[in-house]
Chains A and B, each alone.
Chain A
Amino acid sequence: MQNETTKIAILVAISTLVFLLVPMFLILYIRSYNRHKKNHVLEKQNMQQKFESEMLQTRVEVQDQTMQSIATELHDNVGQLLSLTTLTLNSVNLNDGEKARKKIDNSLALVNKSIKELRELAKLLHGEQLVENGIGHAIDQEINWLNKAGAYELKIDNRLTDLQITSPNKDLILLRLLQEIINNIIKHAQATCIQIDSHLTNNILHLRVAENGIGFNPEEIKSKKSGMGLNSIYKRIEMINGKLILNSTPGEGTSISIEVPYP
């Protein structure tokens, strides 16, 4: 009997030890899991910070682009019109009534044209807010601006103007990408015709910009450091889980297709 009791006692002692070891391993597991969770949360925070910083950068770039357009417009257009008005008014001879009236009428027309141009500029100044009205309107605004230059034959199919859904962050990035692509075309492509298509199908936003310029070898540009603009475009597309397909052949123009999950 005493032997049996001793056996039970040993069994209880060993079992208790095991029962104490189980929570210990459980705590070690929780500790390790929690550490992984901590790293994951920190990584997520880091990514969020990067995203926010990239958004800020994009916003600044959009503003810069707007300011640049305004400066160019003020200098090349409104400035010229007002200078011409000043010249016309300076040359008014009050003794010659008929000629004076003609010149004043001309000046009035020039001032009216300046006012019209300034109104257009004011619209552009609100370009950033335009994104709030939807990506379709923002694309329209960019196209209008490009159209004003009159240097390109434009083929436009923008089906995003009636879009009921918005995604402010994605809209801003898409607008900036479009600006960057158009800038690249103006600076390097030597194109005469630009085609812009945009539409939303199955929650995927499609934006395609094609031109008939000199084209380039994408692999060559990628390997060179000069392809920083292109790298930035790829980075931003990745940030909004999008896809970019670039097709370009020297002498045959370039087409860029962007597909972004939307909203």
Chain B
Amino acid sequence: MRYLSPIFIAEVICLIAAITIIWKDKYAFGKVITCYLTIALVTEEAAAYLAIRGIHNLWLFNIFIFFEIGAILYGLYHCLKEYINPKPIFIIGAGIVYPIYFSFFINHPFADLNTITITVMSVVFTLYCLYYYYLLLKDENFIEIKTHPQFWWVTGVLFYYFGSTMSNIFDGLFTVKIIGHVTLRYCIYIVLNLILYSFWLYSFICRMKQQKLQS
């Protein structure tokens, strides 16, 4: 039953939508996000498998963070390039997050969750999302927000990483169990993941509508 967590179900639905809708897209964005979703799904299930067997699984999440940084940065780059040439700011972003990621393991064992990187990357992603909104508002042309895939993709990212800020900051300081073994932290992450994948799913649907209109 622990294999079929709400996060897993949301990921599976999102992955199926990604494979059917954006994988064949002309942009590399579709392939990157589909691969990321596959990695996220495999990580989730592998972590569940290890947890059931009582094996430490945080190292797995540490590996996943490496791909997460790359995929989300690329996704935001794809959305921002609609308005500006975002290469310089993304080089700076990656230049901040990746060194923090690697330097964490100088003083900590690989089995410790890389919380500093998670916090920093959340802040960086949030800033990029807000910058995207700023450019969107500043732009002379208007977009049909209801059907704009990039907008909803960025919104999903903003909700997830901005919403998880407090959980990241107070990580380890609260282990309140709500129902059985389910902690508050886990509940928050379920809610955030559901929000993230719902927005992404809607974004893929918008992309499908766009593809239909273009064909």
Contacts and interface: CB of A to CB of B under 8 A. Distances in A.
Contacts of B184: 9, 12-13
A30 B158 contact: no
B137 interface: yes
A41 B142 CA distance: 8
B142 A9 contact: no
A27 interface: yes
A214 B205 CA distance: 73
Contacts of A11: 166, 170
Contacts of A27: 155
Interface residues of A, number: 22
Contact of A12 (B136, B158, B170, B195): B170
Interface stretch (B24-32, B41-49, B172-180): B172-180
Interface string B149-175: 000000100110011111100100111
Given A5-B176, A41-B142, A16 B158 contact: no
Given A15-B166, A34-B143, A41-B141, A20 B159 contact: yes
Interface in A1-56: 5-6, 8-9, 11-13, 15-16, 19-20, 22-23, 26-27, 30-31, 33-34, 37-38, 41
Given A12-B170, A19-B163, A19-B166, A37 B142 contact: yes
B111 interface: no
Contact of A8 (B133, B136, B170): B170
Contacts of A9: 174, 176, 184
A8 B174 contact: yes
A209 B155 CA distance: 62
Interface SS majority for chain A: helix
Contacts of B143: 34
Nearest to B175: A5
A30 B141 CA distance: 14
Contact of B195 (A6, A8, A13, A20): A20
B16 interface: no
Highest count of chain A CB atoms <10 Å: which of B142, B159, B165, B195: B142
Nearest to A31: B145
B144 to A, nearest CB: 8
A30 B136 contact: yes
B167 to A, nearest CB: 6
Given A9-B176, A13-B188, A23-B159, A30 B142 contact: no
Given A16-B188, A31-B145, 16 more contacts: A5-B174, A5-B175, A8-B170, A11-B170, A12-B166, A12-B174, A12-B185, A15-B165, A15-B166, A20-B163, A22-B162, A23-B155, A27-B155, A34-B137, A34-B143, A38-B142
The 9 A-B residue pairs with the shortest CB-CB distance, nearest first, are: A9-B176, A15-B166, A9-B174, A37-B142, A38-B142, A8-B174, A20-B163, A12-B166, A19-B163
8 contacts: A6-B174, A6-B176, A15-B165, A16-B166, A19-B163, A20-B195, A22-B162, A30-B145
